[in-house]
Structure formats: C-alpha cells, structure tokens
Amino acid sequence: MLIILLLPPGFRRFLFILGGLTLVSLLAGAFYPSGLIQSLISTSGPVVVVDPGHGGVDGGTGEQGGTLEKEINLAIALRVRDHLRTGGANVVMTRTTDTDLSPFVPGKSGRHRRDLAARIEKARKAGAVCLVSIHCDWSEDKKRRGAVAFYNPRNNTGKELACLIQEELNKVQAVPQKAAPGNFFILNQTGLTAALVEAGFLSHPEEARLLGTPAYQSRLARAIANGIRRYNRWYGNNRQPAVHEGLKR
Ligand SMILES: [Zn+2]
C-alpha cells in the first residue's frame, strides 16, 4: 500500500483504472458464460438457418442395417454450421442433437407436420436470410445416385440459393446433377428463402458408404456452405441495393 502511495499521482490513477477494468471483466466472466459472450460478438453476419432433416423418433429413410438418414443429416449439417461460422455467418440450427421438434403425442396425429412447422417458426423468429434443409434420398432404382438441391419454382431467391449450392456440390460429387424443382412443405413458405439438399441416395451401396464417412460428409458440407456464402453475397448485391434505391425515391 505504501509503495502505491509513493508512486506519482498520474501512475496511481492509471493503476486504479487498470484494476477497475480487470474487476469488470472478471465479473462479466463470472455472470455470463463464454458461449453467450461469443454469440454476442458473432451476431453481425447474416442469419442462416441450417436444418438437419428428421431426428428423434423420426429416423428418416434408412440404409438397410446401416446408418439412419437422421444421423447423416445431422453430421453434415453440423459441419455446414462450422464452415459458415468460420466465415462470419450467424448460424441458427433447428437441432444439434438426435431430437425431433414435435415430440410424439399418443393419439394425436400430424406429428410430422408439427415438427416441420416448428422448424419454419425457428427460421422466421431468427429473421433468417435463408434456410437450408439437409436430407438423404432413397430410391427403388439402386443405380440412382447424386446430391441434388431442390427449390420451389415460384420462389426466385430459393431457386438462386439451390442453383448456387448445386454448382458447389457438382465440384465434389462423382456425377454432376441439376438443381430441381421440388414440392416440399419447407420450400412452400411465403417470404422464406429455402432450399432442400438431398445429399445422396442411401439406396445406392457406394454412395451410402461414402455418406457414412466423415471425409465425404465434410466435402459435402464445405460445398453446401460455399453455396450459401455465394447466395449471401448475391443477396447483399442484388436485394439490399434495390431496397435502398426504393428509399431514395
Ligand atoms: Zn429426409
């Protein structure tokens, strides 16, 4: 204490301020978990909702005796999230564990529809720029393979999103595919830009094996994330200036 009193007044003031700042940061650390501080820092980018299809009681389509669709969807989606966050996007997941969004209620029908509605509600609440749902496909024709991005043909922004994701997917898959119009509940929501990616066919033995490997899941995830990033840039260039022009008039 005596040493502090002997120091010049300017330096004492400096030590006092430094001590105060340390105390404030220690208190902040004690009251707010680091995850919250992290999420407050990284909320500047566009909001993207990533939706791993199915989950919980709903396994999705299954590779016979192998991994369920819901597990592959989640593995790819978590990697998409990580890629996007690294690029500064603000990612909201509809689920991060093996759960569905509308628990089974005995005697009550429409569980699947309630589950999908809850996913859409999450995207709306988050004010998402876009939503990308991730699934795997199944066909009686065991030769069918390939990742395809689907869109609602009446939704121009959704089509742009799906086409950009498809271009990126074609860089990593064996047989290039075309983005396709699809009639999915999650794509038919007014005012919501959405694409649904069928990451491959679990009915195709070779593709099913690939879809189960972390390496291929990562390649697909990077492609999907790159497509979303390109869409966000396109949206920033084409949509926002139009709004600003409108405000000037
Ligand atoms: Zn599915």
Rounded to the nearest angstrom, the distance between the alpha carbon of 223 and the centre of ligand 1 is: 19
Rounded to the nearest angstrom, the distance between the alpha carbon of 115 and the centre of ligand 1 is: 13
Rounded to the nearest angstrom, the distance between the alpha carbon of 11 and the centre of ligand 1 is: 65
- The pTM score is 0.78
Nearest Cα to Cα of residue 134 among 53, 55, 217, 215: 53
Per-residue pLDDT at 150: 98
Per-residue pLDDT at 9: 63
What are the sequence ranges of the domains in the chain?
46-240
Rounded to the nearest angstrom, the distance between the alpha carbon of 9 and the centre of ligand 1 is: 69
DSSP code, position 191: T
φ, ψ for residue 128, nearest 5 deg: -65, 140
Rounded to the nearest angstrom, the distance between the alpha carbon of 56 and the centre of ligand 1 is: 13
Percent of the chain residues topping a pLDDT of 70: 76
Per-residue pLDDT at 63: 63
- CA 92, CA 160: separation in Å to the nearest integer? 21
Question: What is the full per-residue pLDDT of the chain (249 aa) written as tens digits?
Answer: 545 555 666 656 655 554 554 444 444 444 444 444 444 444 567 899 999 999 988 899 876 667 899 999 999 999 999 999 998 999 999 999 998 888 667 777 788 889 999 999 999 999 999 999 999 999 999 999 999 999 999 999 999 999 999 999 999 999 999 999 999 999 999 989 999 999 999 999 999 999 999 999 999 999 999 999 999 999 888 765 443 333 333
Rounded to the nearest angstrom, the distance between the alpha carbon of 136 and the centre of ligand 1 is: 5
Residues having C-beta closer than 5 Å to ion ligand 1: 53, 60, 135
Per-residue pLDDT at 28: 47
Rounded to the nearest angstrom, the distance between the alpha carbon of 52 and the centre of ligand 1 is: 9
Per-residue pLDDT at 215: 98
- Cα dihedral across residues 88, 172, 165, 35: positive or negative: negative
Rounded to the nearest angstrom, the distance between the alpha carbon of 237 and the centre of ligand 1 is: 32
- Cα dihedral across residues 218, 220, 225, 230: positive or negative: positive
Per-residue pLDDT at 175: 93
Rounded to the nearest angstrom, the distance between the alpha carbon of 135 and the centre of ligand 1 is: 4
Rounded to the nearest angstrom, the distance between the alpha carbon of 156 and the centre of ligand 1 is: 23
Rounded to the nearest angstrom, the distance between the alpha carbon of 61 and the centre of ligand 1 is: 6
Rounded to the nearest angstrom, the distance between the alpha carbon of 20 and the centre of ligand 1 is: 54
List the CATH code of the domain at 46-240: 3.40.630.40
Rounded to the nearest angstrom, the distance between the alpha carbon of 35 and the centre of ligand 1 is: 31
Per-residue pLDDT at 64: 61
Token look-up 């029908």 returns 109
In the sheet with 194-201, reading across from the earlier edge strand, the strands are: 90-93, 47-52, 130-137, 194-201, 148-151, 180-181
Rounded to the nearest angstrom, the distance between the alpha carbon of 167 and the centre of ligand 1 is: 21
